[in-house]
Amino acid sequence: MKNPVCPVCGGASAASPRLIECRGCGLAFETEKRFCPPAYEPGLEEGIYGSAKKALFREALDFLDRTFPDRGRLLDIGCAGGELLRAAAARGWLAEGVELDPALAAKALALGLEVHTRPVEEAALAGGAYSAVTVFEVFSQMERPAAAAAELLRLLKPGGVMYARDFNAGFHLTLYRLGETGLFGLPGVRPWVFHNMNFRARTLRLMLQRSGFRDIKIRNSRPTAGDPYRTGGALGGFLTGALKVLYYWLAQALWFITFGRVYAGSALIVTARK
């Protein structure tokens, strides 16, 4: 069967047993996509959606506060139980979200937050209404990320800002291939993440450029706190968290000495303007 074209740039692709990789923009997407809510072990959701990302949410809101001192309307795509929305509202933002998981959406709604439960490109939200849109690890789980990016541009007011975080395919695919060789021998150690779409920095840049965004800036993201996904296995949460911080600073050093050309971090932060 012929390999599908890339859903971001329309380029030709090459297949491996699990992934299809675009020869043009570098997008890697799974041969079998999954669009069901993630099933985590009991007790993990609070960390994954809340405490592990608290510093990342604060960093995002600090940036948006500086950009828009008078605040405005903020839309969080994949808002989960409303953790970022509550933090934004406490700072004076008129915050609302989009969440497709019924259980998570119900949790946010129970807190009195405004949440839309259709995909953003189907939610019929008002164009030009938002100062800021936040997208934390959601492009990678979408079926049509390019269409969603175009819709986010439509929703932003002129000069509005999108702030996104997503996993770096360059990092995770490298670790996956190393893991296949048996390098990670400790029980439970699986330090890579796959989703439907796996982006490299150049993939994200191209997708946003084609959607009409400008002033696109990409950098390595600080890691989540601890080990919320339990990818460290026998290493334990404390040591896994410490290794993540150490690796982040090594990735930052590489980014600086290559004048911003090499993105080795486990995740990327992207900001862009309408």
Token pair for 109: 């709604």
Identify whether 67 is part of a domain. yes
Q: Where are the alpha helices (DSSP H) in the chain?
A: 45-49, 54-67, 83-90, 102-110, 145-155, 169-180, 201-211, 236-257
Half-sphere exposure of 73 (CA within 13 A, CB side): 13
Domain count, the chain: 1
Q: Which domain holds residue 169?
A: 42-221+268-273
Q: 69 pLDDT band (50/70/90 cuts)?
A: very high
Identify whether 2 is part of a domain. no
Identify whether 31 is part of a domain. no
Residues 232, 191 contacting (CB under 8 angstroms): yes
Structure confidence at residue 77 (pLDDT): 98
Query: Residues with Cβ < 8 Å from 27, sequence gap 6 or more?
Result: 6, 7, 8, 9, 21, 169, 197, 198, 199, 200, 203
Identify whether 109 is part of a domain. yes
Structure confidence at residue 232 (pLDDT): 66
Which CATH number fits the domain that encloses residue 143? 3.40.50.150
Q: 35 pLDDT band (50/70/90 cuts)?
A: low
d(CA 7, CA 245): 33
Q: 233 pLDDT band (50/70/90 cuts)?
A: low
Residues 83, 50 contacting (CB under 8 angstroms): yes
> Which contacts of 106-112 are long-range, i.e. CB under 8 A and separated by 24 or more positions?
107/80, 107/81, 107/82, 108/79, 108/80, 108/81, 108/82, 111/81, 111/82, 111/86
Which of 10-24, 154-168, 178-192, 239-253 comes out lowest in average pLDDT? 178-192
Structure confidence at residue 14 (pLDDT): 76
pLDDT tens digit sequence for 93-142: 999 999 999 999 999 999 999 999 999 999 999 999 999 999 999 999 88
Q: Which residue has the higher pLDDT, 144 or 84?
A: 84
Token pair for 151: 């819709």
Token pair for 134: 């936040």
Identify whether 257 is part of a domain. no
**Mean pLDDT of the chain, nearest integer:** 87
Identify whether 98 is part of a domain. yes
Structure confidence at residue 138 (pLDDT): 94
Structure confidence at residue 40 (pLDDT): 55
d(CA 267, CA 181): 23
Identify whether 142 is part of a domain. yes
Identify whether 36 is part of a domain. no
Closest residue by Cα to residue 26 from 164, 153, 173 = 173
